[in-house]
Structure 1
Amino acid sequence: MRKKPVTHDLTSPSKPGQAIRALRNRLGLTLQEVSQRTGLAISTISKLEMGRASLSYEKLSVVSAGLGVNMSELLGLLGDSSASEGAPSVPGRRIIQRQGEGVAVRTGPYTETFLAVELLNKQLVPLIADVRSRTIQEFIEEFGSLIRHSGEEFTYILEGEIEFHTEFYAPVRLKQGESVYFDSSMGHAFLAASDGPCRLLSVCTSPEERVIEQLQKQE
């Protein structure tokens, strides 16, 4: 039987938010302490925990680093999986992802399905995104700004057409089978630019270990 992705809709009471709050409480961290570690406003963290703000890759990355855990561990909590018990970082490890598997987090503009969450300490974070926003205004209303996160990102269009916006370049339309590789610290957004499903595969370099190491040095 094919396993369906675990999906969380952030327009309803948020299980992801509950997982973040439970982990924060388990670690004995206050909202202010997480704010200091992540650079996110206390109000933003509170909204994330209550399911009133979109949990983008950017926020997921900084929250997991601020809590001092690997992103895959947090995703494992979101998906009620045993990701935190995944294979250690040793040579020869692997994970096979079957169609329909993954941990899916739904926001207004995107449904992001994170892949290979069972592997901890990955150098890459692969995900599939179903894009729904059609205007940059709609995107900004949902996320508050363009998305930024450290590292680099490779994006390949799986289905439909995507309009790719960045803060330094004019928007460009990407068709199925086309791709873009970019500095993901540059503000960016993906918009649906054709009728029907608009889907992409993104592979991001993971900043988790470097950020966590920096946090541990400060303690």
Structure 2
Amino acid sequence: MPATRQPIPTSGDRRTAVDGNPGVFLRELRTEKGWTLAEVSERTRIPVSTLSKIETGKMSLSYEKLLRLSQGLEIDITQLFAAATSIPAATHTATGRRSITPAGEGPSIKTATYNYTYPSADLLNKTLNPMIIDIKVRSIDDFGDLMRHSGEEYVLVLEGECEFHTDMYAPSHLKTGDSAYFDASMGHGYVAVGEGPCRILSVCSATDADLKSALHPVDAE
């Protein structure tokens, strides 16, 4: 019975998790040993195409492949296992940004179609821009040109009902609690329906300057 081959110590201790990527580990080991993919394939009985996908991060390692690599390349399986399962540490640092807006407060802008209230206006350079919008217009004929701006938009009906118009889809009737998410570069507008008021929450990923440039003419009052 042939003797069992023992794993050969390598510099794997410093490579147990190269950016959490076993493909990087394998490529560095091949370079160190001077092996070609064909030679690794012969040693491990793993096809060259599969090895290439592993090295480029296009294929994950199953336990069977981990075992074949460990035995064929004579390395400790824990080195590969650590590289296959480790998760890179988060690099994002919390900024502590926070804004609280009491109900009914925030700067406002009145236009011919909407009355806007801006919560969290004290935070500059926001990734998202929330707006509370009271819809004044009740006919798309009175709306004028549909609005459009960069980014994406989410809208939630807080009170009443409205029609959601775009230049690419038929109008959608939204009731209290209904919502929509869409590409805001598409022409869009909201029209109140029914007898009561209609209020919506709109959250846009566009910059504040871009949003204000897209407003309909501001009321003189």
Q: TM-score if structure 1 supplies the norm length?
A: 0.51
Superimposed CA distance per residue, residues 107-146 of structure 1 (whole angstroms, 9 cap, x where no aligned partner):
1211010111100110000000000111111001xxxx11
**Structure 1: which 5+ residue stretches go unaligned?**
1-89, 211-219
> What root-mean-square deviation, in Å, do the aligned CA atoms of Structure 1 and Structure 2 show?
2.0
Counterpart Cα distance in 1 of 2:146 and 2:177: 24
CA distance in 1, matches of 2:118, 2:185: 20
The two structures have a TM-score, normalised by structure 2, of 0.51
Residues of 1 paired with 2:209 and 2:150: CA distance? 12
* Secondary structure, counterpart of 1:122 in structure 2: coil
Distance 1:119 1:154 in 2: 20
CA contact (8 A) 1:124 1:206 kept: yes
Counterparts in 2 of 1:142-161, with a 5 A limit? 145-161=145-161
Give the structure 1 partner of residue 47 of structure 2: none
CA–CA distance in structure 2, aligned partners of residues 189 and 208 of structure 1: 18
Report how far residue 208 of structure 1 moved.
Answer: 5.9
Aligned match for 2:111, one of 107, 111, 114: 107
In structure 1, distance between residues paired with 2:158 and 2:209 = 29
Deviations 1:10-57 (A, max 9, x none): xxxxxxxxxxxxxxxxxxxxxxxxxxxxxxxxxxxxxxxxxxxxxxxx
What is the 5 A alignment of 1:88-127? 91-127=95-131
Counterparts of residues 37-116 of structure 1 (less than 5 Å): 91-116=95-120
Q: In 2, distance between residues paired with 1:195 and 1:146?
A: 23
Distance (Å, rounded) in 1 between the aligned partners of 2:111 and 2:146: 15
Hey, what's the Cα distance between the residues in 2 that align with 1:200 and 1:106?
Answer: 15
- Alpha-carbon distance in 1 for matches of 2:163, 2:120: 27
* Distance (whole Å) between structure 2 residues aligned to residue 171 and residue 147 of structure 1: 15
Task: Give the partner amino acid of 1:188.
Answer: H
> In structure 2, do the counterparts of structure 1 residues 163 and 122 end up closer, same or farther at CA, with 3 Å as the change threshold?
same
Larger relative contact order (Cα-Cα within 8 Å, sequence gap ≥ 6): 1
**Shift of residue 209 of structure 1?**
9.1
Amino acid at match of 1:132: K
CA positional deviation for 1:207 = 3.5
Q: Which residue of 1 aligns with 2:178?
A: 178
Query: How many Å separate the matches in 2 of 1:190 and 1:100?
Result: 21
For 1:152, give the aligned amino acid: E
CA distance in 1 between partners of 2:150 and 2:196 (Å): 31
Cα distance per residue 1:148-188 (max 9 Å; x no partner)? 00000000000000100000000010000000000000000
Secondary structure at the counterpart of residue 137 of structure 1: helix
> Structure 1's 114 and 208: CA in aligned 2 closer, same or farther, altered over 3 A?
closer
Structure 2: runs of 5 or more not aligned: 1-93, 211-221
Q: Report what 2:162 is aligned to.
A: 162
Other-structure match for 2:192: 192
For the structure 1 residues 209 and 189, does the alpha-carbon distance in structure 2 shift closer, same or farther, using more than 3 Å as the test? closer
The answer on whether the counterparts of 1:165 and 1:189 sit within 8 Å (CA) in structure 2 is: yes
